[in-house]
Structure 1
Amino acid sequence: MINKINNIWDIEDIRNNMIILKDNRYSVILSVSTIDFNLLSIDEQTVVENILRDTALQFQYCVQFYSTTHNIDTSSNINEIQENMIKENNVHRISYAKHYSNFLSTLMNSRNISVRKNYIIISYDGPFDKASSELNRRCAMVQESLKRKISLLMYYKQTK
């Protein structure tokens, strides 16, 4: 399975948090959190859209955005709770653990619960000896830019 993925994405190796691709391309992946866009007012949504557009326009190198969705499986949590219930002597804790275990079981069985994760993939084309420092520089620029932009959003929300 891993060999198939490596062939599809042209991955040669992963070293020092850097993905080494074919043809002298190197990439790093940043994990980013998201804002619940639908909970924002129309004005706040406009500010966020402008921030993201301005941030994307400043990139002068290859940047990709990638999202994944994973179903949440609470069965290991339920098993751990049930194992700990056996050792417990406190009646109230046992009762709470049963209720919580039932809640997790019902939640998992009644809904398809998922979590979305978002990533920014930053790439560099060039010699290996410069790849690490260049990718670190680019990551720092992206992180700083997003921090600045989010600060502007927070300021905007406070002044409303």
Structure 2
Amino acid sequence: MGPAASIMISALIGVLFIVAAVVVAFLTPKIALWVESFSAAGGLFASRRRKATPVEEKNTAPKKKKLNLKTLWGIKDIKNGVIIMDDDSYRMILRINPIDFMLVSVPEQTNIESSLMALAMSLSFPVQVFTTSEMVDAREVITNIYKHAPSLPEPLRDYSMELAAYIDALTANRSVNIRRSYLIISLDKDPKGFKHAYQELLRRSMIVANGFSRAKIVVDILDSNAVIDLLYNVFNGRSMFRPSEAVDAGALELYKGGMQLVFPEAS
């Protein structure tokens, strides 16, 4: 083979490589699209794939996270009336027993306003005001009326029974609500532990209570049961159930003790 033939063959091979490169560059995007659609359709075994049953779909579906006090508000525990948060900060709640401001005299109104302003100016720690609507729970009042009504004179006895029935009907209809206000005393994480934090919260609460007492307003520190009832009422405002009553009745006890039976010995 002469030099001319060798040059011609080399040129032909080069042209073939160029043509092959152009064809590959042209077909590569189309091949990629075809592979993508083929994979989305299930590949070679798409027709053989079994449809998942409802039970399997339910098991594979992402489970919804249950909502509770820890996930909603970050509450870790409630101890001695103190709410312990996830970040180890603390909260103590005070309930304000309201007075009818419009029924007091003008000098008394001025004294109330001055006392509350003086208290607000003297605070050196955070205090949050929380107001909620609560149903009137008159069950204890109704029970006391029925208990003492028989010992009253006849006119008062009849009036007491009618009054108790009227209050009971209002409570059953769940149509009577009152607005209550609370104060939340906060304390950041205390390196000295819970006991020291509890004493500091008590000190702060007494400062607030004394300030309100100058305005003739009574403030109560909630215990653990009252705190639990308040938190329950926030989520279940139209329920008469009180978790503290269930706990006092033994709802958290593993078992209830019974009466011991004593059999006489056989003679």
When residues 111 and 45 of structure 1 are mapped into structure 2, their CA distance, relative to the original with a 3 A threshold, is farther
Residue number among 113, 123, 134 corresponding to 1:70 in the alignment: 134
Aligned-partner residue type, residue 25 of structure 1 = S
Question: Aligned partners of 1:80 and 1:40: how far apart in 2?
Answer: 30
Question: Aligned partners of 2:140 and 2:196: how far apart in 1?
Answer: 44
The aligned counterpart of 1:56 is 120
Question: Aligned partners of 2:214 and 2:184: how far apart in 1?
Answer: 20
Residue number among 210, 215, 218 corresponding to 1:144 in the alignment: 210
Moved more, 92-101 or 15-24: 92-101
CA shift at 1:55, angstroms?
0.8
Q: 2:80 matched to 1:16?
A: yes
CA shift at 1:8, angstroms?
2.3
The aligned counterpart of 2:240 is none
Cα deviation code 1:119-160 (max 9, x no counterpart): 211111132453112112111222222223439xxxxxxxxx
Q: Give 3-state SS (helix, strand or coil) of 1:50's partner.
A: helix
Cα deviation code 1:81-126 (max 9, x no counterpart): 88xx9xxxx9878745652344325655899322232221111113
Q: Give 3-state SS (helix, strand or coil) of 1:150's partner.
A: coil
The aligned counterpart of 1:5 is 69
| TM-score where L is the length of structure 1 | 0.67
Structure with greater strand percent: 1
The aligned counterpart of 1:156 is none
Residue number among 99, 103, 115 corresponding to 2:178 in the alignment: 115
- Listed as ranges, the gaps of 5+ residues in structure 1 are 152-160
After TM superposition, the structure 1 = structure 2 runs for residues 91-130 of structure 1, keeping only pairs within 5 Å, are 95-96=158-159, 98-105=161-168, 107=170, 112-127=175-190, 128=194, 130=196
Q: Which consecutive aligned stretches of 4+ in structure 1 deviate over 6 angstroms post-superposition?
A: 75-82, 90-94
Cα deviation code 1:9-65 (max 9, x no counterpart): 221111122110122310111122111112234443333222212111211111112
RMSD: 3.8
| TM-score where L is the length of structure 2 | 0.44
Q: How many residue pairs were aligned?
A: 148
Aligned-partner residue type, residue 56 of structure 1 = A
Identity %: 31
Question: Aligned partners of 1:41 and 1:104: how far apart in 2?
Answer: 31
- Listed as ranges, the gaps of 5+ residues in structure 2 are 1-65, 218-267
Aligned-partner residue type, residue 58 of structure 1 = S
